[in-house]
Structure 1
């Protein structure tokens, strides 16, 4: 027997979050009292969603994915996530070493990988992978960066060279890069990136890593998957993210948190490929479907509009998340309003559902 329950979802207050995006989406006063970075829909033990059943709160205890709305107002840390085998090995190693889970030096908080897929709601800027040597060489010549020229001409993998610079050389390289960006042409995209990152993270040596990465612009509706071992960082924009419920992050810069360079290099994939942006077409019902890392999971965006009723068949465990104006969900003679940032949980099934109203509804299902 199927059931549909309303959810209440927590917001994470990280420094890089917006004071407007989530508040405006949920119809609250703007600006919010503190930065609001992520709305979480899931059973993560650190901030689980709550199910509303017969006027009572019921903690959500089991969901095989974590769905988020990201409200990015400043660059996030440059990071990489381990593979399943690396996560298990790292977690067990740190357990044997007796490192407490809340120790800031801890790299592995759980024995799980952390694949993630993002879908842009607005334009989203991000960094991913590493540019080929010829492009880095071109940037070095245009901006007059001796440190980048040496890295590009060294014939060795770029990231180990940049990440293992000693503090004095890294500091000098950051200063030279910022100075070059300030005198470069105003329309130079690399110089603009440097200025943006430096304004938010002044003096951080992660700037050197950022300069070596692919700078990607996602249009609304476009998607990007980040596999294990891929270096990445979000810069700005609003997006949906689907990921596994893990906290395993190895950082490479743009952060005040622990940076473990040897472990980061051990986790990095040898191939730091150019991004593969996914831009699926809409079907006759305005539905766009996005591939996820696990064939048991599915992600769809349902575009609503005046006079349109969108049929959806829900099977198993499914989250429905509204990201715009109010939508109406009808199933088995019942109706639910779904506002921006509001969600429903479906269990059981199959259930024939009709969506109508305005805005966009995302569904994430697990078979």
Structure 2
């Protein structure tokens, strides 16, 4: 089964007014366009040419829901700082909130399903900026030394240097996000305005922009503790369970486990569950986790080592087509040029921003034309165990009824 699928951009405030229009080759509307979702997620399922949503198509075929969600993401400003739970943490938190009868669409609901949400993003733009993971403490102390001295800056520095790095960083997060930091946030923001450092010039630029976009938000101090990463086109970042991250600017292809579980750590008007964030967050400092693709002939393979998804990228020309096995339900997304997607005796011609769903029985997909294609599929043998499929579908159906919202 090969079905072209389409969706409308989602107009979150942090989106870019130009990046998605530039990708698909149309004039900007003037509004921010943040994401296009490709998949069966009930928050915004893709549609087939006959108008049916992809989740309805899969249900009609007796197929299980997809374990992943594929997106094009276009950031014009910082997303919220966030972390995602592990599978065990999600199952425990979901059961706890279900037992407490907290509506799944409640603003203060944290666990909207029982799944984890690891995610990978591959840059499409020449520069994609992100804050991912907590920076080594020695480097953060050097950054703080570049800020003019003020009581709040000194307090942040003293707390970070007060003990072993994971415990000290957790203490700073609790202190800032709980509202106990007093004037520390405003002191840090004021100091950023005149700080100067050759080593941290890019970090200071990003932090000043965040402070202007989110005045008074304690997430400014959290962002100051995080690694700034600049990806070039084709480079990838991974956000495993517990790792703080906040995409800043640029266009990318994002692939994640199909979940809506987000614990926020600032830079947002939405609910911040400080106690639960501190319970699941990993405060071990270190470099941002990158994914270096392996090569399978002309295909780049981005394998983050999670069972829910695996991402492939293929470039084809008029003289060089690509042929790949289909080992599970797959979504092929064209991001450049025009590509013929051929599988199981069916064919679809796709332009940039257009996608097609390939069923697990397709066997093989051939890509012809001149362009670049991303293919998302499960990272483990398919289909999943029957019991897991039934439980997942029950959550999805209930989530549709209660209005599951975007986790970003």
Structure 2 length as normaliser, TM-score?
Answer: 0.82
Helix, strand or coil at the partner of 2:291: coil
Q: Is the helix fraction higher in 1 or 2?
A: 2
Deviations 1:67-91 (A, max 9, x none): 0110011100001111111111111
Report 1:177-188 matches (<5 A).
177-185=188-196, 188=201
Stretch of structure 1 that moved more, 7-16 or 79-88: 7-16
Alignment pair present for 1:196 and 2:196: no
Partner of 1:73: 76
Change (3 A) 1:175 1:34: same
Alignment pair present for 1:128 and 2:162: no
The partner residue of 1:16 within 7, 14, 20 is 14
CA contact (8 A) 2:294 2:302 kept: no
Distance 2:20 2:287 in 1: 31
Report 1:246-325 matches (<5 A).
246-280=259-293, 282-285=295-298, 287-295=299-307, 297-325=309-337
Partner of 2:99: 96
Q: CA deviation at 1:268?
A: 1.1
Stretch of structure 1 that moved more, 164-173 or 311-320: 164-173
Report 1:38-53 matches (<5 A).
38-52=35-49
Distance 1:213 1:270 in 2: 10
State the number of aligned residues.
360
Change (3 A) 1:326 1:114: same
Partner of 2:393: none
Distance 1:262 1:184 in 2: 32
CA contact (8 A) 1:221 1:279 kept: no
Partner of 2:160: 152
CA contact (8 A) 2:41 2:258 kept: yes
Distance 1:141 1:316 in 2: 52
CA contact (8 A) 1:300 1:363 kept: yes
The partner residue of 1:228 within 238, 241, 245 is 241
CA contact (8 A) 1:75 1:235 kept: yes
Distance 2:340 2:346 in 1: 10
Partner of 1:116: 119
Q: CA deviation at 1:153?
A: 1.7
Distance 1:245 1:267 in 2: 19
Partner of 1:210: 223
Alignment pair present for 1:336 and 2:340: no
CA contact (8 A) 1:250 1:259 kept: yes
Q: CA deviation at 1:237?
A: 0.8
Distance 2:162 2:10 in 1: 42
Stretch of structure 1 that moved more, 295-304 or 75-84: 295-304
CA contact (8 A) 2:176 2:218 kept: no
Change (3 A) 1:14 1:333: same
Change (3 A) 1:162 1:313: closer
Q: CA deviation at 1:358?
A: 2.7
CA contact (8 A) 2:84 2:262 kept: yes
Partner of 2:110: 107
Helix, strand or coil at the partner of 2:337: coil
Gaps of 5+ in 2: 56-64, 383-408
Change (3 A) 1:309 1:173: same
Structure 1 length as normaliser, TM-score?
Answer: 0.91
Deviations 1:159-185 (A, max 9, x none): 332332487764522222222222123
Q: CA deviation at 1:306?
A: 4.5
Helix, strand or coil at the partner of 2:233: coil
Q: CA deviation at 1:147?
A: 2.5
CA contact (8 A) 1:130 1:272 kept: yes
Q: CA deviation at 1:329?
A: 2.1
